[in-house]
Amino acid sequence: MSALHLCQGVLRMQTPPTHCRRLAEGTRRAVAGWGLELLCKEKRWKSDSLTVVEVPSSVNADDVVINAYSRYNLSLGVGLAKVRV
């Protein structure tokens, strides 16, 4: 049995909230590993279905998206800018 099939079996045995929580935490840790910041600073507001990453103004967000896709086969959404009041 391949590692992928084993992981898929383990994920099927977990309840959906646990599965989502683990994936979300993994995403947050990956963002930290990339040296980027999460928009949400307070733990109580963190979502298991959406992770918003702040990209420094010195970095082209399109480069982050292209790199994530080419290196990790990860699709990211873009287009949210700082809300102006």
Q: What is the pLDDT of residue 70?
A: 94
**pLDDT at residue 63 greater than cutoff 70:** yes
**pLDDT at residue 83 greater than cutoff 60:** no
**pLDDT at residue 49 greater than cutoff 90:** no
Do the domain assignments include residue 67?
A: no
Query: How many structural domains compose the chain?
Result: 1
Residue 3: which region, alpha, beta or left (left: phi > 0; alpha: psi -120 to 50)? alpha
**pLDDT at residue 9 greater than cutoff 70:** no
Do the domain assignments include residue 16?
A: yes
Q: What is the pLDDT of residue 50?
A: 86
Domain interval for residue 35: 3-54
- Rounded CA separation 84/58 (Å): 20
pTM: 0.62
